[in-house]
């Protein structure tokens, strides 16, 4: 059997109410790994849960705009011609990106 990274085991006793409270806090945090939860709480005393949902939405929107820009660039590269409306569309898409970023700050 491979050597453990952590060789020392700690144990603690809790009553039913304390166990339920610990499980509820773990559930609220979104973790099921008691060892990691207990280690973090014992060492740091707190856990910060960061909600990245807004950043994920922003990344998805920027990605969609990036796809539009790539389609315009592909058309420009395949025809070797650039039209004023292409430049205007690219500027408009980039303005959309800036507006999204500004609205999230």
The per-residue pLDDT for 103 is 79
The per-residue pLDDT for 105 is 66
pTM for the structure as a whole: 0.49
Closest listed residue to residue 20, CA positions, set 10, 48, 28: 28
The per-residue pLDDT for 1 is 55
Triad 34, 37, 43: Cα angle to 5°: 130
What are residue 13's phi and psi, to 5 degrees?
-110, 135
Residues lower than pLDDT 70 in the chain: 1, 105
Contact 61, 104 (CB under 8 A): no
């Amino acid at each position: 059997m491979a050597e453990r990274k952590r060789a020392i085991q700690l144990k603690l006793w809790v009553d039913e109410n304390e166990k339920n409270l610990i499980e509820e806090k773990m559930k609220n945090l979104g973790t099921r790994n008691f060892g990691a939860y207990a280690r973090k709480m014992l060492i740091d005393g707190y856990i910060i849960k960061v909600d990245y949902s807004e950043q994920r939405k922003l990344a998805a929107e920027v990605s969609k705009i990036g796809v539009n820009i790539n389609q315009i660039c592909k058309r420009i590269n395949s025809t070797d011609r650039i039209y004023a409306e292409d430049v205007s569309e690219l500027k408009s898409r980039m303005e959309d990106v800036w507006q999204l970023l500004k609205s999230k700050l």
